[in-house]
Each structure stands twice: as C-alpha cells, then as structure tokens.
C-alpha cells in the first residue's frame, strides 16, 4: 500500500466523496431521454438517500421513489457528540422534505416486506406495490441478539447499544446522567464486520469527556475483541493526555461478550471473564437487514455480495445493494462508505439504463473520529476493484505526534465533513 504524503492527504480530503461522480454527468441526458425509467430505493440513510439524490441529479427525468418508514432521520455520525454532552439531539435530526422538494424524489413512508426480483416489484406493509426497472437496497443492519446469551431486543431498553441513533441514544444519555460518580461505564464492541468500528473508540472517548466534566471519579472500560484499529495509537495517546487513568481497553478473545446478565449489570467473556458496570453500552453482533435476507440478497456470511464496480448484487439482477448491508471488501461499514458507494451506484445505474459500459472508478473515503470537542483524528483511504474485490490501494492516518492546533483543525474539518455529507444525503 502506498503511504500518503501530507500533500496527497490534503488533496484526497478535498476530493473525497466527489470524484466518483464527475465523469458520469455527460450521460445523464441519454439516460433521461425516452421513457421514464423507474428506480426504487429502499432505505433513506447515508446510502439510500444519497443515491436517490444523485440519481435525480445525474438523470433528472428518472422516476425515483424512496421507501422509508421513518419521518425523520437521526444520524449515527456525531451521535457520540450528543452522548458526550457536546451537542443536543436537534444537531443530528433531519427530515426528508428537501429530498422531495428540491430533487423531485417521491417519498413513500412505509416498510418493504418483500422483493420479487423476477417480476421487479416490491411489496409494502401498507398493502401497496412498486414496480421498478432498477432497485437500490440500502436497509442497514440487523442485530443478532441470539449471539449473546441473555440478550434480546427487550433487554436493550436497559442495556443500550445506541448503534442506531434516536431512542437508544437518549437511553444511554439518561443512564450516564443518572449513574453515581465513581461508577464504571462499559463500552463493548462485537467482532467485525459491524457498523463503524472506529466509533467504538470515539464513543469511549466522548463518554470519558462527559465524565471528566461531570463525574471525574468514574471510569470507562472498553471491551474490543478485534484487531487494532488504524487509529488506535492516536486514541491511546489522546486518552493519556486528556483522560489520564480514566479509560482502560481490553482486547483479544477475553473481550468478546458472550453472555449478559442484565439484572446484575454484568457481561461475561468466553472463558467466564466477568465485567460489571454501572452503565453497559453493549453493541450486539450484526448482519444485513432482514429484508436483504428474505429477498435472497445475502450469502452464508449474512451480508450481500456485490459487483465492486457497480454495487449490483451478484445474486439478483438489476438489484443494487449499498451501505452497511453490502460486502465491500476492505471498505469499512460507515456513513462515508455508504456515501461514496451511493454515488458510484447511481453512476452505474445511469450507465446501465443507457446501455453504456461502466468506467472503472476509484472510491475515496475520509473518516473523522473525535477524542474530544477540540481533538479529532482523520483517515483517508482510496479503493479500487481488484480481482472482483474492493481493495485499499492508498491511505493514511493523521500523525500520532500531530500538534494540538492540528487536532483542533481536524475537529473543525470533522464538523464540516458532517454538514457536507448530510447535505449530500438530503439535498440540503
């Protein structure tokens, strides 16, 4: 892998999330001519809503319908700042009005219950159906409650995951506010693959920030069974400087939670290791959302295999899967990944409807993780399809030794990135 220079890093930050779109604009008119092709998009998160937005941007005459059961979208990105007391819920809460008003996408507030790929029809919980020429499936994740003994959807009301923002975010906030000073907060990650692995370290950091201000005798215990994240060294350094002695991280097999005793507020490892917390933020193992499985879009891994150049399903023709549900090689499951996949997918659909060959694309992601309100760590990765798999071909993480003014700048860039990516999602 090529290591980025500082100049490379700055250049990629500038083009991240935009470069995949530019070479397809010339084909929009061809796609828009003649009959109005129908594209249905399932899910209006960072993948689905962004794809719908760019489909209409590339092909203004496309008939684009988005199916989404929620009236508002509460973003997982920056939800950790709400948990840490830096922002409030309004900062991460959006509606879909502009996506319809500005881009002309049709919004159907309903839930898809079935996909008939042969008839090219989706069926809705409300009883209706939608026909499509191309279908984009961006339904997100499903929790595997049965992978942790004693855990369940009901138990999550007291042992929150907060890995889907909204009600769960508020539960975790209230528990942090109500715990005694001197208590232990456990932040427990599942094994990969799961949504936004670096956000575990960010969450631990911003919980520690809240505790340092409000309950300074308290501790944070991170249980992370995965290999070290690229930004781990930067986080460990930040913890030592900003929250000395407050955060402990346990890694490896002993950190994998296999059992929960919700009443005793205790989690257990595979060999009987036990960890007790005043607050337990337990993130369950994950798989693609249920609709992807029932539609025959998942393989034995529980995730959706796709053509890495177009994100078309390898199992169902004319169906595209983007965001957390798809198998994207080296690319992490994250909002930024969903964003660039959405743009690439929109370009691929335009090419397909035109009967044109899809050009090879490089997909670039820029990730920001906050360790405090004035301290962020960035990572840029560039991916190409190699032998049928998305592989990282260049990338880098901001330097561990970066000065405080650099970390402050990166925190400012993180806020700008968040506003930009939500604007692209919702046509703001």
Give the pLDDT confidence of 272-330 residue by residue, as tens digits. 999 999 999 999 999 999 999 999 999 999 999 999 999 999 999 999 999 999 999 99
The model's confidence at residue 18, banded by pLDDT at 50, 70 and 90, is very low
pLDDT tens readout for residues 125-135: 999 999 999 99
Same domain, 420 and 364: yes
Burial 79-108 (b: 16+ CB within 10 A, else e): bbbbbbbbbeeeebebebebbbeebebebb
Please identify, among 282, 316, 346, the residue that sits at the C-terminal boundary of a domain: 282
Nearest to 154 by CA among 162, 167, 145: 145
**Mean per-residue pLDDT for 360-369?**
92
**What is residue 34's predicted lDDT score, i.e. its pLDDT?**
54
Q: How many domains does the chain have?
A: 2
**What is residue 165's predicted lDDT score, i.e. its pLDDT?**
97
**What is residue 26's predicted lDDT score, i.e. its pLDDT?**
38
* 92's tokens: 């991460």
Which residues are CB-neighbours of 118 under 8 A, at least 6 positions away? Answer: none
- Is residue 31 scored above 70 in pLDDT? no
Which residues are CB-neighbours of 84 under 8 A, at least 6 positions away? Answer: 205, 206, 207, 209, 210, 373
Residue 53 and residue 146 in contact, taking contact as beta carbons nearer than 8 Å? no
* 425's tokens: 């999602």
> What is the Cα–Cα distance from 386 to 284, expressed in whole angstroms?
32
- Is residue 55 scored above 60 in pLDDT? yes
Same domain, 297 and 278: no
* 184's tokens: 């232990």
- Is residue 33 scored above 90 in pLDDT? no
Long-range residue pairs from 100-104, CB within 8 A, at least 24 positions apart, any chain = 102/427, 103/52, 103/53, 103/56, 103/57, 103/64, 103/427, 104/56, 104/60, 104/64
Residue 171 and residue 157 in contact, taking contact as beta carbons nearer than 8 Å? yes
Which residue matches tokens 């199992």? 315
> What is the Cα–Cα distance from 151 to 200, expressed in whole angstroms?
20
The model's confidence at residue 341, banded by pLDDT at 50, 70 and 90, is very high
Same domain, 32 and 130: yes
Please identify, among 260, 282, 304, the residue that sits at the C-terminal boundary of a domain: 282
Residue 238 and residue 246 in contact, taking contact as beta carbons nearer than 8 Å? no
Same domain, 301 and 243: no
**What is residue 361's predicted lDDT score, i.e. its pLDDT?**
85
The model's confidence at residue 10, banded by pLDDT at 50, 70 and 90, is very low
CATH number at residue 158: 3.50.50.60
Same domain, 263 and 321: no
CA distances from 43 to 11, 139, 289, 311, 406 (A): 32, 5, 11, 16, 37
pLDDT tens readout for residues 71-125: 999 999 999 999 999 999 999 999 988 888 888 999 999 999 999 999 999 999 9
pLDDT tens readout for residues 175-199: 999 999 999 999 999 999 999 999 9
Residue 369: how many other CB atoms lie within 10 Å: 28
The model's confidence at residue 229, banded by pLDDT at 50, 70 and 90, is confident
Same domain, 276 and 302: no
For 420, the domain range is 2-140+289-426
Same domain, 276 and 314: no
Same domain, 129 and 147: no
pLDDT tens readout for residues 233-281: 999 999 999 999 999 999 999 999 999 999 999 999 999 999 999 999 9
Q: What is the per-residue DSSP string for 22-65?
A: HTTGGGHHHHHSSS--EEEEE--STTHHHHHHHHHHH-TT-EEE
**What is residue 234's predicted lDDT score, i.e. its pLDDT?**
96
Same domain, 277 and 293: no
Residue 260 and residue 149 in contact, taking contact as beta carbons nearer than 8 Å? yes
The model's confidence at residue 46, banded by pLDDT at 50, 70 and 90, is very high
**What is residue 160's predicted lDDT score, i.e. its pLDDT?**
98
- Is residue 414 scored above 50 in pLDDT? yes
Same domain, 69 and 126: yes
**What is residue 101's predicted lDDT score, i.e. its pLDDT?**
81
**What is residue 427's predicted lDDT score, i.e. its pLDDT?**
83
Lowest mean pLDDT among 27-41, 59-73, 372-386: 27-41
Average pLDDT, the chain: 92
Helix, strand and coil content of the chain, in percent to the nearest 5, comes to 35, 25, 40
- Give the residue ranges of DSSP H helices in 116-165: none
Please identify, among 220, 247, 282, the residue that sits at the C-terminal boundary of a domain: 282
Same domain, 178 and 97: no
Same domain, 242 and 160: yes
- Is residue 13 scored above 60 in pLDDT? no
Q: What is the per-residue DSSP string for 203-264?
A: HHHHHHHHHHHH-TT-EEEEEE-SPPPTTHHHHHHHHHHHSTTTEEEEESGGG---EEETTT
């Amino acid at each position: 892998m090529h290591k980025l220079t500082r100049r490379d890093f700055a250049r990629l930050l500038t083009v991240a999330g935009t470069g995949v779109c530019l070479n397809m604009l010339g084909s929009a008119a061809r796609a828009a001519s003649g009959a109005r092709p129908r594209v249905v998009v399932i899910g209006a998160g960072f993948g689905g809503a962004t794809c719908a937005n760019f489909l209409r941007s590339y092909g203004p005459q496309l008939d684009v319908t988005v199916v989404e059961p929620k009236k508002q979208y509460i973003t997982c990105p920056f939800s950790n700042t709400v948990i840490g007391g830096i922002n409030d819920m309004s900062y991460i809460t959006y509606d879909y009005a502009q996506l319809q008003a500005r881009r002309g996408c049709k919004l159907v507030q309903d839930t898809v219950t079935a996909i008939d790929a042969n008839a090219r029809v989706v069926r809705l919980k409300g009883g209706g159906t939608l026909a499509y020429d191309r279908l984009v499936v961006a339904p997100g994740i499903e929790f595997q409650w049965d992978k942790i003994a004693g855990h369940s959807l009901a138990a999550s009301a007291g042992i929150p995951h907060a890995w889907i923002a909204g009600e769960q975010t508020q539960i975790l906030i209230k528990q942090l506010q109500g715990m005694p000073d001197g208590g232990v907060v456990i932040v427990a990650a599942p094994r990969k693959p799961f949504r936004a692995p670096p956000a575990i370290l960010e969450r631990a950091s911003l919980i520690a920030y809240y505790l340092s201000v409000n309950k300074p005798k308290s501790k944070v215990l991170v249980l992370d069974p995965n290999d070290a994240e690229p930004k781990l060294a930067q986080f460990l350094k930040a913890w030592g400087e900003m929250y000395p002695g407050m955060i402990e991280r346990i890694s490896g097999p002993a950190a994998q939670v296999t059992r929960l005793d919700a009443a005793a507020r205790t989690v257990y490892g595979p060999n009987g290791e036990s960890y007790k917390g005043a607050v337990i933020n337990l993130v369950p193992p994950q798989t693609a959302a249920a609709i992807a499985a029932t539609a025959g879009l998942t393989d034995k891994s529980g995730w959706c295999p796709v053509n890495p150049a177009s994100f078309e399903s390898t199992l169902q023709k004319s169906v595209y899967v983007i965001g957390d549900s798809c198998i994207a090689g080296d690319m992490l499951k994250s909002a930024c990944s969903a964003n660039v996949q959405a743009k690439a997918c929109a370009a691929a659909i335009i090419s397909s409807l035109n009967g044109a060959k899809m050009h090879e694309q490089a997909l670039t992601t820029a990730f920001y993780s906050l360790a405090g309100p004035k301290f962020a760590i960035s990572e840029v990765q560039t991916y190409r399809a190699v032998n049928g798999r998305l592989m990282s071909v260049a990338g880098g993480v901001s330097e561990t030794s970066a000065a405080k003014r650099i970390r402050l700048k990166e925190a400012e860039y993180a806020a700008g990135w968040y506003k930009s990516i939500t604007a692209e999602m919702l046509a703001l």
